[in-house]
């Protein structure tokens, strides 16, 4: 699970007309499935949340696989700038729409759906003004950050360390990114098992390794390299 990095290039600029100016990114997309994702992006050393579409944009006539990102609350022109992006979750498949109006409606839904997930994960406040990102919570000392996860999800220190270590081995070497993945994974576990009202986290059959594999395979193409033994 590497971070996707590339340069922002010009698209057909239709997104701008639809009301969603997107950054088209010239990046390697090996192993990434087409679809619509919630992402964390970095532009000029600043974190931003957004939605990303990877695919061939079947509503138009584009046949090439492209990657484009709509960043929340972002109004700057960034053509030619570097962007890094990390996938937090996938929420739907790319599909063909009968009209641009229906596509626009769907993208609006995508944005509110992603915002809800970001709130659930704890990286975006409902009023969008105070987010975990702007509060620098991601840069808290280790113990404070662990305590936050413990309060939110009932994860104990041993399990937290295993998850942290697993994401590090997986290639997420930057601490702030890894912490977002940890929050994202913990919220995935909770969502996966909504009926369990216990304060403590449960992994069910297959244990933690199985859940980590399922979390990753929800958006990364299965490969031997990506599987946990």
Ligand X SMILES: Cc1cc2nc3c(=O)[nH]c(=O)nc-3n(C[C@H](O)[C@H](O)[C@H](O)COP(=O)(O)O)c2cc1C
Q: Which residues bind ligand X (CB under 6 A)?
A: 11-15, 20, 22, 24, 36, 51, 53, 57-60, 68, 70, 94-97, 103, 107, 110
Strands 4-9 and 23-27: antiparallel
The span from the CA of 119 to the CA of 20, in Å, is 21
The span from the CA of 82 to the CA of 44, in Å, is 8
CB atoms under 10 Å from CB of 109, counted, come to 12
State which residue, 110 or 164, has the beta carbon closest to ligand X. 110
State which residue, 104 or 213, has the beta carbon closest to ligand X. 104
Q: How far is the CB of 40 from ligand X (least distance, A)?
A: 15
Q: How far is the CB of 13 from ligand X (least distance, A)?
A: 5
Largest CA-CA distance found in the chain, in angstroms, rounded: 51
State which residue, 93 or 169, has the beta carbon closest to ligand X. 93
State which residue, 24 or 164, has the beta carbon closest to ligand X. 24
Q: How far is the CB of 107 from ligand X (least distance, A)?
A: 5
State which residue, 70 or 219, has the beta carbon closest to ligand X. 70
Q: How far is the CB of 113 from ligand X (least distance, A)?
A: 10
Q: How far is the CB of 179 from ligand X (least distance, A)?
A: 25
Helix axes 142-153, 175-192, angle to 10 degrees: 10
């Amino acid at each position: 699970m590497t971070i996707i990095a590339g340069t922002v290039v010009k698209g057909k600029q239709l997104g701008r007309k639809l009301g969603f100016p997107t950054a088209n990114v010239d990046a390697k997309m090996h192993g990434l499935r087409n679809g619509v994702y919630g992402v964390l992006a970095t532009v000029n050393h600043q974190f931003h949340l957004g939605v990303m579409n990877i695919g061939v944009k079947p509503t138009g006539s584009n046949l090439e696989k492209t990657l484009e990102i709509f960043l929340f609350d972002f109004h700057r022109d960034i053509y030619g700038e570097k962007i890094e992006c990390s996938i937090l979750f996938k929420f739907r498949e790319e599909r063909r729409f009968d009209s641009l109006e229906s596509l626009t409606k769907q993208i609006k839904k995508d944005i509110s759906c992603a915002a809800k997930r970001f709130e659930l994960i704890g990286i975006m406040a409902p009023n969008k003004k105070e987010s975990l990102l702007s509060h620098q919570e991601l840069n808290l000392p280790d113990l404070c950050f662990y305590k936050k996860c413990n309060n939110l999800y009932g994860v104990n220190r041993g399990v937290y360390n295993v998850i942290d270590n697993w994401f590090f081995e997986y290639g997420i070497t930057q601490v702030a990114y890894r912490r977002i993945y940890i929050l994202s994974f913990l919220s995935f576990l909770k969502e996966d098992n909504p009926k369990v009202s216990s304060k403590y986290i449960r992994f069910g059959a297959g244990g933690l390794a199985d859940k980590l594999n399922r979390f990753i395979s929800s958006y990364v193409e299965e490969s031997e390299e990506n599987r946990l033994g």
